[in-house]
Amino acid sequence: MARDRLACYLRGGRPSGALITYEGARDPSPPRAEMGVELPGRLYFAGESRVWGGGMAFYDHDVPGPTPAKAYLVTAGQFADIAAQEMHRVPDPQDPIEEVVVGMEEGARHAAGPGRYETLIDVGHRDGLPMLTFTAPDGLGAIEHTAPTSGYLAMLRAGLREAHGWDDGAIAAHLADRIAA
């Protein structure tokens, strides 16, 4: 996820190319750190995004990867608020996701609901801290794939460039492989 995209979840705002504006997190502070990482699963595109139109990016932890990604060091509350906004809910101090985030064991999954981005997964640890993501309950092979929009791809390209320093050719090849999956 590109830095500018994350800022809309934290401070509120509308990402370039998006159709909606985000409220922002209860704590709008920037992440304490960010870094490029490789996750063990695989990225795929499916569904129809209300934010971007076209397919949405999901992560299947059970399919061999790697998947290049960008990790941000945020608080459990910020993560819960980001997840809530992605689940089309308003950030809430009583949201049980915050407790789940704090108590998740390595490799664990938690279904916050049946919808897209409502499955939380602990994808490993980095420097002694858990790395968490949220995705759909369906895996890569269990859902019809759909192509993402150019605006959504632009945001993903920016994140890959920031996190891994890839050039346009490497980014295009990676995303084309994932879109074709």
On whether the CB atoms of residues 120 and 130 are closer than 8 A, the answer is no
Which tens digit of pLDDT belongs to each residue from 24-82? 999 999 999 999 999 999 999 999 998 999 999 999 999 998 999 999 999 999 999 99
On whether the CB atoms of residues 119 and 113 are closer than 8 A, the answer is no
CA nearest to 18, candidates 159, 179, 153: 153
Element (H, E) at 125: strand 119-126
- Output the CA–CA distances (angstroms, integers) from residue 33 to 72, 75, 127, 143, in the order listed: 6, 11, 12, 34
Which tens digit of pLDDT belongs to each residue from 79-134? 999 999 988 888 988 888 888 888 888 889 998 888 888 899 999 999 989 999 99
Angle formed by the axes of helices 150-164 and 168-180, to 10°? Answer: 130
φ, ψ of residue 139 to 5 degrees: the values are -90, 180
- Output the CA–CA distances (angstroms, integers) from residue 4 to 9, 55, 150, 157, in the order listed: 9, 20, 17, 12
Statement: residue 181 has pLDDT above 80? no
Determine the 3-state secondary structure of 20 from DSSP: coil
Statement: residue 172 has pLDDT above 80? yes
Which tens digit of pLDDT belongs to each residue from 41-53? 999 999 999 899 9
Which tens digit of pLDDT belongs to each residue from 127-163? 989 999 999 998 888 888 999 999 999 999 999 999 9
Q: Is the dihedral of CA 159, 162, 168, 174 positive or negative?
A: negative
Cis peptide before 114 (omega within 30 of 0): no
What is the model's pLDDT at position 105?
86
* CA gap 118, 138 in Å, rounded: 11
